[in-house]
Every structure is written in structure tokens, then in C-alpha cells.
Amino acid sequence: MDGTEKWAEIERAASEKRRELVLQGSVIDKRIGCAGGLSPAVYSLTLLNYLEVSQCPSLTHIHQDIRQLTNLQSLILCRNKLSVVPEAVGSLRFLKVLDLSVNNLRLLPEGITHLRELNTLNVSCNSLEVLPEGLSRCSKLCTINMSKNLLSSFPPDLCSERLELLSTLEASDNCIEELSADVSKLPALKVLDLSNNKLHELPPSLSDCPKLKEINFKGNKLSDKRLEKMVSGCQTKSILDYLRGKARQAEEGGKADGGRAADKKKKQQQKKKRDKVADEQEEVEELNKMVVRVLHVSEAPTALTVQVSAEVKDVRPYLVCCVVRGMNLKPGNALKRFLMAQTQLHEDICGKRTTATIATHDVELLKGPLTYSVKPPTQLKIVPLGRKEMSAVELMRHLQLEASELRKQKKRQNVTGLHKYLQLLQGKDLYPCLVDAEGHVISFPPITNSEKTKIRKTTKELFLEVTSSTSLQICKDVMDTLIVKMAELNKFTAENQEEAGSDREGDGAPEPEGGHASSELIVQQVRTVDQDGNLKVVYPSKTDLTKDISNLMVVW
């Protein structure tokens, strides 16, 4: 076999004008080894917006012709043996996701800094000693993962106000010696992981990051032993409070005597009290607009729990869930609007399901406790939405045939719906699934959930589930956004009574006082635990659904 021999997958993608192509596993690896690289034909698929070449140890380089794939939005080149990435990658002006993790890279091309639409960059598990300067030009970056490299410092402009959307920065297992005080210039930073580095100090300005929720500095030999003890316990709030106190002490140091310091402290307390009153007044005003009540029961078990098996770690490891009550889906097009909103979230914040997937269930049809696990494709049986029970293998085959038939009949360049996501599981030996207490698979992410738990107009309580193979924070961000959207839709339904008249008639439900339907939502926590019952995640926690989310009020 040589580099000019045709590959069936590439020919099929070309003839069917596909937008997605996944090449992975031992069969592809063997072809790459024999051909000395990817088939040149792959670079002629100019309609592609998603390209994945992964798990191919024979892949050591990518040709400069990658520049021809001008419509690419996601380029996944993980778990190969790449030693170099061409500068031409900087020509992919629509690229949003770039995954170069688990390769043999020592340098990144400067061209990466020209990717103005890039929102996710994963270069973890390489041998990088430096990152290119100019990453701040990628102003839409939300997530950067540079863990497990040989980095001794960040690029000078990484902590820049230009990266106003950067929410997740992972740099664990490197040799980083200093965290700049400019980290406070990252207004959206929520997750910061610098564990197992060579830090000796933490800048007090870190406490000025307004949205910081999760920090990890374990494995650093900090000179402040009290702080090091806090870090060992991952006490995010305690660490930030301690750093805030150090900043205050530094500010007060060298000033007047203790009397003046005490006076200043008193004034600060008075200001804090005034600010608290103002905040409470603002909260009341917001509450009049939108009521979302969160049942926070951190010490008590919830009605539904999810046990997570260890095997999902290598398949689709991240999951958050919650229960929502009070969503009125009965009037008019309320249910249709909700389903359309979910579809739109899949397109937008979920990156067309490449970063996360949402599933919704009717709580009355669930049998808890639930288990999030994996099954071989032949053993995973589900009743997909609108279909009869079948195995995952049968479902994937049916969907692929339907996709091919639709393309032929309608001469479409791309097929919407489930068919677009089939390739996300290509080459995997195990598939993720959510199973109820009776052994029924109620969700098969990222493909479909079950007809057995499908929500309807009569649904009173919804079980929400978000899964991802990217990060836990993405799951939480998607869930936050989903609940905010639900609150907006519920308010819209309550304010448009003309839709509700015919549907409410004869349903036995009393008319709300004043003739107005309530828009109040109740969000109840759901815990995920490991196989030994140890808590993994609880959603919402007190750092989720915070009041800075537009049109959302959380009452604990």
C-alpha cells in the first residue's frame, strides 16, 4: 500500500459530501504505517467541519495541505505519535476545537495563535517545554488543558484581560515555578489546576478572580505551611479567604498604627453591611422577575442518586444530574419550545454534541437508584426514542442506513439529528449508558435516551442529565445554561395565558390565584457516587447557579 491508494472511508465521505470524518484504531493505524502518513485524499474533503484521527501510533506528522480544510471547526488528533504540527493549522480560521493531547510534541506552531474562533485547546500529555506567545489573540478561548508536559512557565500574555472568556485552565504535572499576579485579569476563570508543579508562592490577587470555584495546588512545596495544609485539603473557599486576608494585610502594612487600622476595619465592616443590604434588595427585585428555588440538602440523601462505575473513566467520564419541578409543559407549544431550546443548546454550547450531551427524563417513569456504566455494543439494549427495543449495534446500523438513504433521496450535503453523531463512538469497545434499578438502559449518550422515560406534556418532574468526555466543568456550565433557559421558557409560558386556556380545561388543576400560572422552578440536588458510595459530584452545589447568571435567582 502507498500514499496514493484509496481509502474507503475517505471515498465515502467525498461521494456523500459528509461534514464529519473519524479515522481511528488499529486498522487505520496499519494503513498509515504502510502509506507513511494519512492518505493525501483526506485533504481534499473541503466540506469537513469535524475531523478526528486518533489512536494511531504510526501517525507522526500532518501535511501542510491541512490548510485546504478551510471549513474545519473541530480537529481531533489525540493519542497518536505526532512530533510536529504544521504552521498551516493557523489557516483554519473557523476552527473552534483543537485536541493534540497524548502525542510527542515538543513545540507548538505559532500559527495556533492566529485561530481567532478557537474556544478549546487541549495539548495535554506531550513534551512541551514552552507555549507560543500570543495565545491572548485567541480571545474566544474558554478551555485550555496543558497538563502533563515539561512547562516551566506560562506565556507572558496568558493572564490577559483579552482572554475574557477563559473559564478552565488546567496545567497540572508540569514544572511551573510561578503564577503571575495578573491571574486576576481573567474575569471568567472558574477552574484552575496547577497541582504537581514547583510553585512556592500563590499570589494574593488570585482571590480577586470573581468566578473562581475550583482550584487545585496539591503537590507544590509552598513556603507558607498553613496555606500548604489548606491546599492539601483542596479547601477552595478557605484558600481564597486566606489569600484575601494576606492581600488586606499587605495593603494595611506600613500604614498608621493599630488604632487607624481598627478604624479602617470598622469602616470596611460598615461598607460590607451596606453592600449586603443593597445585594438583598437587588435579589428581591430579581426574584419578582424570575423564581428558581434550589432545594439544598447537602447532608441528606436525595430521592435519586447515581452510582458511577470505574469503567466510564476511559469512555465518557463526566456526568452531572438534577431534578427540576414546576416546568409547565402542557399549554400550547410549551413542550415543543423546550425541545427546540434543547436542540439549540446542543448546537451551541455543546459544540454540536462534541463537548457535551443533554438528556431529559420523566421522573415518574424512573426507578432509582441509577447507575452510570458501560456495556459492550452487542449487550447494550435500549428502546430508542420512537423505536422498538434493539441493541446499540442494531441502532447504529439502522441510523447509518437511514442517513445514507436520506442523503440519496434528498441529495442533502448533511443530515441533521442523531445521524451526525454516530462517528463519535466509532472504534470504541464499550459504550456509555445510564441504567435504572430494573436494569433498563434509559440513556445512551451521545446518541439517544429511552422512549420509556420520554418527557410529555403531562410530565411534572424532569430528571436532567449532562454527560461529557471533555470536563466536569463543561457539564456544569451546560446544566447552568439549560436551567436558566428553562426558567425563561417557564416565565414566557406563564405570561402567555392565551395558549393555556384550552389545555387547562378539564385537567382538574386549580387555576392559580389571580388567574396567572406560576413560573417558579424547584431544582433539587442529585448526587453521583462511586461504587463504594463515596460522593463524587453534587449538583447544584452552592457554587452552581450563582446569582450572576442573567435572570436567575437561587434561594438556598
Shortest CA distance to 21 belongs to which of 73, 82, 67? Answer: 73
Q: What is the pLDDT of residue 177?
A: 94
Number of H helices, E strands in the chain: 9, 23
- HEC letters along 294-351: EECCCCCCCCCEEEECHHHHHCCCEEEEEEEECCCCCCCCHHHHHHHHHHHHHHCCCC
Q: What is the pLDDT of residue 16?
A: 87
Instruction: Give CATH 3.80.10.10 domain extents, the chain.
Output: 1-109, 128-248
**pLDDT of residue 301 exceeding 50:** no
Residue partners of 493: CB distance under 8 A and separation at least 6 = 328, 331, 332, 334, 337, 499, 500, 517, 519
Per residue in 219-241, pLDDT (tens digit) is 999 998 888 888 887 677 888 88
Asked which of 48-57, 103-112, 509-518 is least confident by mean pLDDT, the reply is: 509-518
Per residue in 351-392, pLDDT (tens digit) is 878 888 999 999 999 888 899 999 998 999 998 888 888 888
Q: What is the pTM of this model?
A: 0.53
Asked which of 48-62, 165-179, 431-445, 482-496 is least confident by mean pLDDT, the reply is: 482-496
Q: Phi and psi at residue 89, in whole multiples of 5°? A: -60, -25
214-216 sheet: strands from edge to edge: 20-24, 50-54, 74-76, 97-99, 120-122, 143-145, 168-170, 191-193, 214-216
**pLDDT of residue 134 exceeding 80:** yes
**Percentage of the chain surpassing pLDDT 70?**
80
Per residue in 391-404, pLDDT (tens digit) is 888 888 888 887 77
CB-based burial, 21-52: b 16+ in 10 Å, e otherwise:
bbbbeeebbebbeebebbbebbbebebbbbbb
Would strands 441-444 and 448-449 be described as parallel, antiparallel, or unpaired? antiparallel
Mean pLDDT of the 145-160 span = 92
Q: What is the pLDDT of residue 549?
A: 45
User: Topology of 286-498+516-555 in CATH?
Assistant: Phenylalanyl-tRNA Synthetase; Chain B, domain 3 (3.50.40)
Q: What is the pLDDT of residue 182?
A: 92
Rg for the chain, CA atoms, rounded: 26
Signed CA dihedral, 373, 374, 380, 384: sign only? positive
Q: What is the pLDDT of residue 297?
A: 41
Judge whether 242 and 234 are in contact, CB under 8 Å: no
**pLDDT of residue 280 exceeding 60:** no
Q: What is the pLDDT of residue 120?
A: 92
Instruction: Give CATH 3.50.40.10 domain extents, the chain.
Output: 286-498+516-555
Asked which of 103-112, 135-144, 157-166, 539-548 is least confident by mean pLDDT, the reply is: 539-548
Distance, in Å, from the CA atom of 227 to the CA atom of 336, rounded to the nearest integer, reads 52
Judge whether 174 and 146 are in contact, CB under 8 Å: yes
Distance, in Å, from the CA atom of 30 to the CA atom of 48, rounded to the nearest integer, reads 23
Q: Which CATH number fits domain 128-248: 3.20.20.140, 3.20.20.10, 3.80.10.10, 3.40.718.10?
A: 3.80.10.10
Per residue in 540-550, pLDDT (tens digit) is 877 777 654 44
Per residue in 22-36, pLDDT (tens digit) is 898 888 999 999 989
* Joined grid coordinates for residue 248: 488586606
Distance, in Å, from the CA atom of 273 to the CA atom of 115, rounded to the nearest integer, reads 46
Identify the residue whose cell numbers are 456526568: 319
Judge whether 203 and 225 are in contact, CB under 8 Å: no
Distance, in Å, from the CA atom of 49 to the CA atom of 304, rounded to the nearest integer, reads 39
Domain 1-109 class, CATH top level = alpha beta
Cis peptide before 446 (omega within 30 of 0): yes
Q: What is the pLDDT of residue 329?
A: 92
**pLDDT of residue 536 exceeding 70:** yes
Asked which of 40-54, 270-284, 420-434, 443-457 is least confident by mean pLDDT, the reply is: 270-284
**pLDDT of residue 498 exceeding 60:** no
Mean pLDDT of the 551-556 span = 43
Torsion of CA 37, 38, 44, 50, to 10 degrees: -140
**pLDDT of residue 101 exceeding 70:** yes
**pLDDT of residue 412 exceeding 80:** no
What value does the mean pLDDT of the chain take? 82
